[in-house]
A = this chain, B = another copy of it.
Amino acid sequence: MEQTLTISIQDYLKNIYELTENGESASTNALASKLNVKPASVTGMVQKLASAKPALVEYQKHQGVTLTDDGKKAALEVIRHHRLLEAWLVQTLGYSWDEVHAEAEKLEHVISEDFERRIAAAMGHPLRDPHGELIPTADLQMPLDDSTPLSSLRANQSGTVQYVKAADAELLKHFETLGLIPEAELEVTGYSPFDHNLTIKIGRKSIVLGLNITSKIYVKES
């Protein structure tokens, strides 16, 4: 039942999961650019995943893909590996949060379930990875996310950073120098409707952030 999926398939499923978290289906083009692969290749793979038994995705020509329950399970397994590994690399080998992603990206596909259990136990079953992202549980449920993008807050609203959604090392370093890390408290003091810039107060500083940033910072309003 749990035959081992190829690394490519694992990556497709993980990326489909991420693109469909919002409820929409994942388009061929979006998947292609996320996977660094040509759209034609995506069509081919997606057709295969749809006709696999059991099917891993739901697919209608020109309508994009979504995950079946089996596909979602497989995706969450990879995501759990990835996030546990990130946490573990930071906690035991002193990686910084901008260095872990690439390493976890490769390890996620080859560790055993035993390895997964051991690092989870060694860290006391952490709930979040170094970026604050929720780690799927051992029985492959994604915990409820009670945060919203910072970009959805307006003047006088304040909150606590829950997680940052970014893999790029440079961007993560930038977030860090701004103090935009999990647990950070911030308050929105201004909003510019034309460019969607937000002015926020964080620590003793006041900074202006564009949508490119605010859409990647997830906060819990307080």
**Chain A stretch 116-142: residues in CB contact (< 8 A) with chain B:** 118-119, 122
> What's the Cα separation between A114 and B109 when bound, in Å?
19
In the assembly, how many copies of this chain are there?
A: 2
Chain A 81-119: CB-based contact to B (< 8 A → 1; otherwise 0): 000000000001111000100110011011110110011
Task: Indicate whether A110 sits within 8 Å of B106 (C-beta atoms), given known contacts A92-B92, A93-B122, A122-B93.
Answer: yes
Instruction: Tell me, rounded to whole Å, the shortest Cβ–Cβ distance linking A117 to chain B.
Output: 10
Task: Indicate whether A107 sits within 8 Å of B111 (C-beta atoms), given known contacts A92-B92, A122-B93.
Answer: yes
Determine which of B95, B102, B112, B118 lies in contact with A94 in the assembled complex, contact meaning CB atoms within 8 Å.
B118
Across-interface contacts of A110 in B (CB, < 8 A): 106-107, 109-110
Instruction: Tell me, rounded to whole Å, the shortest Cβ–Cβ distance linking A86 to chain B.
Output: 13
The reply to whether B93 and A119 form a contact with Cβ atoms under 8 Å apart is yes
Across-interface contacts of A99 in B (CB, < 8 A): 114
Determine which of B103, B111, B112, B115 lies in contact with A115 in the assembled complex, contact meaning CB atoms within 8 Å.
B103
List the 6 closest A-B pairs by CB distance, nearest first.
A106-B110, A93-B118, A110-B110, A103-B112, A103-B115, A107-B110
Given A94-B118, A106-B110: 17 more A-B contacts, CB < 8 Å: A92-B92, A92-B122, A93-B115, A93-B118, A93-B119, A93-B122, A95-B118, A102-B112, A103-B111, A103-B112, A103-B114, A103-B115, A106-B111, A106-B112, A107-B111, A109-B110, A110-B110
